Chain A
Amino acid sequence: MIKQVRIALRNCGRINPESIEEYINARGYEALILSLFEKKPEDVIKIITDSGLRGRGGGGFPTGLKWAAAAKEKSDEKFVICNADEGDPGAFMDRAVLEGDPFSVLEAMTIAGYCIGANKGIIYIRAEYPLAIERLKFAIEKAEEYGFLGKNILGSNFSFDIELKYGAGAFVCGEETALIKSIEGKRGEPVVKPPYPAQKGLWGKPTIVNNVETFANICPIIINGPEWFRKIGTQKSPGTKVFALAGKINKVGLIEIPMGTTLREVIYEIGGGIKNNKEFKAVQTGGPSGGCITKENIDTPIDYDNLLAIGSMMGSGGMIVMDEDDCMVNFAKFFLEFIIDESCGKCTPCRVGNKRLHELLEQITTGKAEDNIIPRIEMLCNTIKKASLCGLGQTSPNPVLSTLRYFRDEYEEHIKDKKCRSRVCKSLLRYQIVPEKCNGCTRCARNCPVQCISGKPKEPHVINQDECIKCGVCYTHCKFDAIIVS
């Protein structure tokens, strides 16, 4: 059995998150003391760079390089921001870390501050995480009381404070430049990079923005050394990744696996297989910015570069498993709906393009699409990708493109045969009564909400297809299996 390796989640569920003593007992603040009293900032940055740690928010940018870039800048003020604006549908990795081990994030932020020369840390957290906020507030208070935060930490000449900023739940504010705008009190809209936040970030000062899970990896790396970290995972993506495993899987849960684990191992060994022994169809990683991984790639080792190569992405760690009952066109449409809601509206290709794209998919799922619709979809997708400013827009067509890549036949079936093989797209369904099986009990006719079923008692009934709204009530009410769906 494939075992998980817990680095970011090392303390989650093991220690009382509201006890600084238990955190200290679990080697808490060892890394901070090592950094502050035995190492220079550049030495600590070198450890992080050598470890090969990459941003766990999804982009995969080397954390050490980000820190080094900010450290290099000369400025009277610098900032460390922790991005806890976890927004991917179905993802809750960061929440688990913040609720289960808040001190580890505070400690890592303090170390980051020491490395780049910042005295101020900000945790940008979504207001929908009240318990995480409560525990963070408690942890900040405790850390200040013990002298792990505040002026002259542990008697050194380094001072560092952390405050919380609440996000209002806008997905785009997880993008670092939009996040910074939001903290400044402006509209959460992305701006052009460069200059990167490491040069000009919050209030125009050098700023690093790291994800919660990235910070959760920092202390173990400093304590155990970069070689230890490099032994876990793959060469280009060392370490582990936390995934929120959801969807049609037996053991839904939060898992932390070494990079390089295959999807097959995740689904069948850790996840306990597909629900009700159905057949595996695909996994969506990277949320609305990612793509799907199908059966043919089920043995691909999971890391940043491999996932990109097969048309998906690591993302922040949502992993939604789909089985034969899921319709891929409908699935792509679901993510587009999310994007339409969450687009900030700054760039036309994203704001209008995704809306149009959604309309095209709607045509497919309702059987109204023209035969040449796929090339139009592809063109629109590519335009949105190329002409949007930020990551949200650039990646928004990914679910459509990736389902088109792997499930083109399913799209064509919808378009040409007006058929949905998973029986999800209701408009394409046809309910029919098999005369040989119908004994005329009238149950379907009595329950039909639009009264489109006719027939005399004790004689076979008929559904009027023009009036049928495909609600399925007759199908569930029939006790003689006389109604079939096609």
Chain B
Amino acid sequence: MKIKNVNEFYKLRDEIKKNMEKNKNIKVLIGFGTCGQAAGAKKVEEVIKKEISDKNLKNVELIRVGCVGYCYAEPTVEVVYPNGNSVILGHLTPENTPDVVEIHIMNKALESQYVIPRNFE
């Protein structure tokens, strides 16, 4: 759909904003830049997907994003809760991912041994 004038743009933006506000899913942002992929983000993503379907988790959205910059801890995942809180988890492996899913997605914990410090706002 082509936007033909400024009003149409604002209308579209309002619509997008409304939809995003309505969205109360837990968002799992997985670092999927070249760096994340090289470090094994794809395997981690597969495990998360499997856990979500095995445990029948509802309202969880998996989103591939670019590099966040925590190269030392790749693959990394940021879990954003509907209330706006979020945690960044690092050093994920296919082995520890089920644990991470349980702690941070099912139990929504804000702390665990997987949390890495956030160094920017």
Contact = CB atoms under 8 A, between A and B. Distances in A.
A12 B16 CA distance: 20
A385 to B, nearest CB: 34
B35 A29 contact: no
B69 A254 contact: yes
A100 B16 contact: no
B4 interface: yes
Given A25-B20, A33-B6, A270-B119, A99 B33 contact: yes
A5 interface: yes
B6 A131 contact: no
A147 interface: yes
A154 B120 contact: no
Contacts of A99: 33-34, 66-67
Given A3-B120, A154-B9, A256-B120, A146 B3 contact: yes
Nearest to B80: A14
B67 A145 contact: no
Task: Please classify how large the interface on chain B is, using the bins under 10, 10 to 19, 20 to 34, 35 or more.
Answer: 20 to 34
Nearest to A245: B71
A15 B27 CA distance: 11
A461 B67 CA distance: 54
Interface string A85-100: 0000000100110011
B31 interface: yes
A92 B71 CA distance: 11
B66 A96 contact: yes
B121 interface: yes
A87 to B, nearest CB: 16
Contact of B29 (A14, A96, A253, A272): A14
B17 A25 contact: yes
A13 interface: yes
Interface residues of A, number: 44
Given A101-B66, A147-B2, A95 B72 contact: no
A1 interface: yes
Contact of A3 (B2, B35, B63, B119): B119
A86 to B, nearest CB: 12
A131 B5 contact: no
B120 to A, nearest CB: 4
Contact of A131 (B33, B71, B78): B33
Contact of B3 (A154, A250, A252): A154
B33 A100 contact: yes
Contacts of A6: 120-121
Most buried by B among A13, A101, A146: A13
Interface stretch (A16-24, A44-52, A417-425): A16-24
B109 interface: no
A253 B2 contact: no
Interface string A256-271: 1000000000000010
B12 interface: yes
Given A16-B63, A100-B67, A25 B2 contact: no
B70 interface: yes
Nearest to B4: A155
Contacts of B34: 92, 95, 99, 129, 131-132
A253 B4 contact: no
A173 B85 CA distance: 44
B119 A154 contact: no
B35 A100 contact: no
A170 B103 CA distance: 47
A12 B68 contact: yes
Contact of B16 (A1, A5, A14, A21): A21
22 contacts: A4-B119, A5-B120, A12-B66, A13-B78, A14-B65, A17-B66, A25-B20, A37-B6, A96-B35, A96-B69, A100-B67, A101-B66, A131-B37, A145-B1, A146-B2, A146-B3, A147-B4, A155-B3, A252-B72, A253-B72, A254-B69, A255-B69
Given A5-B120, A100-B67, 14 more contacts: A4-B120, A13-B31, A13-B68, A14-B65, A33-B9, A100-B33, A146-B1, A252-B72, A253-B70, A253-B72, A254-B68, A255-B119, A256-B120, A272-B72
